[in-house]
Amino acid sequence: MSMSESKQAYYEKLVYNELMTHELVNYDRVLAKSKTLEALSDRQKNCTVSAYSDYNVLKKAFIVVIDLLKLVEGNDCVVMEGGTRNRVFHYVGERSDPLGNTNCRMIKDVKRYWEFCQDSGGFFPEAWLDYFFKDTLNLQKLKERKRRPLVCVGLDRSLTHLEYLPNLYEAIKKRQVLKISYAERYGDRTELIFHPHLLKEYNGRWFILGVNEDGNYGKYSVDRIYSYCIVNGVDYVPMKEGEYKYWNQIIGVSHQEWTDVVHITLKTHSLYKHGLFVSKRFHESQHEVLAFGNHDGEEYGMLSIDIVPNKEFYGRMLLYGDDIEVVSPSDVREQVKKRIEALRQRYST
């Protein structure tokens, strides 16, 4: 087994090769072919098959390979006989290498993706790469390539606790309940039970989104999580219907002030900025209502957006100054005016 190959993939290859002999195959036969350090050690100890360190990995490999064969060759291509302990598998399909082309395509696709990961060292947080490639020699090669990436970002990736990202991702996949030690800005640390559903990056900062123990939606910035652990004995609350919609109907991650989606009309006063807003949209719901040009003697363009207004939205409006104007609804326009007035007051002395 090469160091760049996972143990799971290694056993899947062994299982497939043995099944393609069209002979009866059991767990013992495949383990006898294994050259992993654990398998070699267990053979020296004369361990029973079920006591092998790789036993569970092998069982999963059989399931994966047989499912693939049934998908390609049909449900009757593999005959299983015997009980759990002495089960044997017999491939009776007609083709001698039904997954050959599939495997070749997968290898090419994985190789292309691996090369992309190598060239995108500035795009992925380093914690992701360290975690997902920790068992390969290619990790060092990736770190060397990272110094000269072909894909990078301009955002600062030096936030604290980014190393939590892979395990938080795993918790979401495995539907695990978490106990989090968290501190709001300038606040004391508190502990809470959280059901994670989604990781979201905004402006270079990572947030974990989900449901609190009281059943309400919650979000926590990863850099303010001081510790976490998996909670056993608590039923995981899965993602609610409409939860993706809830998080996608805002700019950023903050739900506040409004709870309903509103249709907002924006007026642009700069050809350059209008083009920027069209190509780099504020939100996926954004549409160009009127192309920038001369309309009744005035140079402007019109955009629309359907969101729940929040502080990130108002921040964007203030960021672009007099190049963009909220036309309607009037209550959203008034909120922008209040912020502008507060800013004017700040700089009036």
185 pLDDT above the threshold of 80: no
By DSSP bridging, strand 177-183 and strand 88-91 are: unpaired
137 pLDDT above the threshold of 50: no
Tokens of 16: 């497939």
Higher-pLDDT residue of 25, 72: 25
228 phi/psi in degrees, rounded to 5: -155, 160
3-class secondary structure, 230: strand
| Res 114: pLDDT | 57
Single-letter residue type at 82: G
Query: 115 pLDDT band (50/70/90 cuts)?
Result: low
Sorted by where each starts, the structural domains of the chain and their CATH numbers stand as 7-98 (1.10.10), 102-146 (no CATH), 162-240 (2.30.30.100), 262-346 (3.30.70)
- Segments of 188-323 assigned E as strands: 189-202, 205-212, 217-221, 225-231, 262-268, 287-295, 298-307
Q: What is the average pLDDT across 42-68?
A: 80
Give Cβ neighbours of residue 135 (< 8 Å, ≥ 6 apart).
Answer: 3, 6
Which of 27-41, 173-187, 190-204 is the least confident region? 27-41
Query: 4 pLDDT band (50/70/90 cuts)?
Result: very low
Question: Measuring CA to CA, which residue among 280, 273, 226, 227 is closest to residue 251?
Answer: 280
Numbers of helices and strands, H then E, in the chain: 12, 12
264 pLDDT above the threshold of 90: yes
- CA quadruple 25, 27, 29, 30: dihedral sign: positive
| Res 19: pLDDT | 92
**Burial of 121 from C-beta contacts in 10 A (0-12 / 13-18 / 19+):** buried
Q: What is the average pLDDT across 140-149?
A: 57
Query: 116 pLDDT band (50/70/90 cuts)?
Result: low
Using a pLDDT cut of 70, give the percent of the chain over it: 78
| Res 113: pLDDT | 59
Give Cβ neighbours of residue 238 (< 8 Å, ≥ 6 apart).
Answer: 175, 195, 197
Higher-pLDDT residue of 299, 72: 299
Q: What is the average pLDDT across 202-206?
A: 83
Contact 164, 225 (CB under 8 A): yes
In degrees, to the nearest 5, what angle opens at C-alpha 324 toward C-alphas 321 and 329? 115
| pTM tops 0.85, yes or no | no
263 pLDDT above the threshold of 90: yes
pLDDT tens-place string over residues 274-303: 999 999 888 989 999 999 999 989 999 999
Q: What is the average pLDDT across 244-252?
A: 84
Other beta carbons less than 10 A from residue 25's beta carbon: 22
| Res 2: pLDDT | 45
| Res 81: pLDDT | 87
Q: What is the average pLDDT across 254-280?
A: 86
